[in-house]
Structure 1
Amino acid sequence: MDILFYVLLAAAANVAGGLLIMAKRSWSQHESHALMALSAGLLFAIALMAIVPEAVELHKSSPIFIILGFGLFFLIQQILSSHDHSVKSPRTRGMLFGMMLHTFLDGVSIVMGFQMDKAVGIVVLFAVLLHKIPDGLTLSSIIYTKSRSRKKAVYASFLLGLSTVAGALATMSATQFFAANPVILPFALSLTAGMFLYIVTIDLLPAVIALKNKRVSIYFFYGILLYIGLHEVLDLLPFQLH
């Protein structure tokens, strides 16, 4: 099935991003911290440049749900508060949950785009592919920094890919449900954006600031610039497709 092939392609991009963590045999502490800062920049840019605009375009009340997402994640973190910073810590679990929700919706978006029109589906696919590799890199690098385990880092990127496929399959089997409830997608996107912004501003950036290392801090801006560059590439793709 053509749509399923495109979904698998998007899922593979998540895994490819996660596999970037394997590019080096070992990562120094400085490099690990730089990855964390880079990931914070990417996650920040993905939330504000990709998820928030899409959610607001779909529903005018999305900003309220973005705030609710931020507040909900704050509440969850307080309830599950822990000093354990391993891969099993509440913060890492919450981050994984937020990113899996986002990639689940990627699968939903691809299927819905192709069901509307093939040309629309292709554009949506490229839009999704644009942030798939950064998503995989973001999650795997953060988990690697916390756990120092390449296996866990790559496994996390596979979970993102599986979540994308799950979102697509759920949409294929429940198209009428999603079509009859247009608020579901912007609501879920808004909650995801709120969670991502919480992770960046409350978890990742304070950790970067605490290092008091200007060389590491600059990678936050590199992450933003990287996404902006990729976003510019996306703007050229629809023109090239016609």
Structure 2
Amino acid sequence: MIITLLILSVIIGVFLGKYFGGNEKFAKNLLILSAGFLIAVCVIEVFPEVYSSSDHNIGIWIIAGVLLQMILESLTKGFEHGHFHHHHEEKSILPIALMFGMFIHAFLEGIPLANINQVSSPYLLGIVFHNLPISFILGAFLLGQKNSTKTSWIIVSIFALASPLGMLFGDYFNPNLQNYFLALVGGIFLHISSVIIFESNKNHKMDWMKISLVIAGVGLALINHFFHGH
């Protein structure tokens, strides 16, 4: 069921992007909403779990996740938070770099899912919520053009299967390592969500729509948190 949900979130996002990808405002708003949800999941779910570890140096893995995401963005060019216009100038390097960067990103997110059985898990919902806008942008850029290629579909397929593969491989890792992977992904989530929330403020002016979307995303995460008694 979890694997189905992960794949379905990508498929839905991709097809929305393919047919409605011209609506950039919708994509941005969806990203901001997901960022609010994601940062709340980090603070109220992921980090408390990570810091319950007996390893007092576990925070280093969160920092490593932040740094790793910065490296991955040199390959994906910021697809994770809505940067895709300038990719048209880099068509020769986009497919392989994007494929690799997006796969590693999603694969790592899937590893901690090996210990999760509930579809209502905040961490799982965080990934699903995060997948939708990324897949929307992916679909808009790769499939929204008339000349979408087999390579485009291969990239989409690889991204859709990356988290499920990470989840399956997570079963083979030492259970004692799971908390380190969760910390690593927590750092990735923290970086992505904070960049989405803070980067698009123009001249540091108050953007009430953006604030409302962030609050809505945080609210959804809190509702799920308290509803399931965490």
Report the TM-score, using the length of structure 2 for normalisation: 0.66
In structure 1, what residue type is equivalent to 2:2? A
Return the offset for 1:17: 2.5
The answer on whether the counterparts of 1:40 and 1:138 sit within 8 Å (CA) in structure 2 is no
- Identify which of 33, 36, 57 aligns with 1:38: 33
The answer on whether the counterparts of 1:38 and 1:220 sit within 8 Å (CA) in structure 2 is yes
In structure 2, what residue type is equivalent to 1:215? M
Return the offset for 1:81: 9.8
Quickly say closer, same or farther: Cα 1:129–1:33, change in 2 above 3 A. Answer: closer
Corresponding residue number in structure 2 for 1:196: 189
Return the offset for 1:101: 0.6
In structure 2, what residue type is equivalent to 1:51? V
Establish whether residue 209 from structure 1 lines up as the match of residue 205 from structure 2.
no
Q: Percent identity?
A: 20
- Structure 1 gap ranges (5+): 1-8, 111-121, 237-242
Instruction: Find the residue that maps to 2:200 and give its secondary structure.
Output: helix
- Identify which of 127, 132, 137 aligns with 2:132: 137
> Cα deviation per residue 1:23-47 (whole Å; 9 max; x = unaligned)?
6952523212211211221222232
Bigger helix share? 1
The answer on whether the counterparts of 1:59 and 1:186 sit within 8 Å (CA) in structure 2 is no
Give 1:69-218 correspondences, 5 Å limit. Answer: 69-74=65-70, 76=71, 85-86=83-84, 88=94, 94=101, 97-106=104-113, 108-110=114-116, 122=117, 124=118, 126-127=120-121, 129-144=124-139, 147=141, 149=143, 156=156, 159=158, 162-172=161-171, 174=172, 178-179=174-175, 182=176, 184-202=177-195, 204-210=196-202, 213-218=207-212
Establish whether residue 65 from structure 1 lines up as the match of residue 64 from structure 2.
no
Establish whether residue 221 from structure 1 lines up as the match of residue 215 from structure 2.
yes
What value does the CA root-mean-square deviation take over the aligned residues?
4.0
| Total equivalences in the alignment | 205
Report the TM-score, using the length of structure 1 for normalisation: 0.64
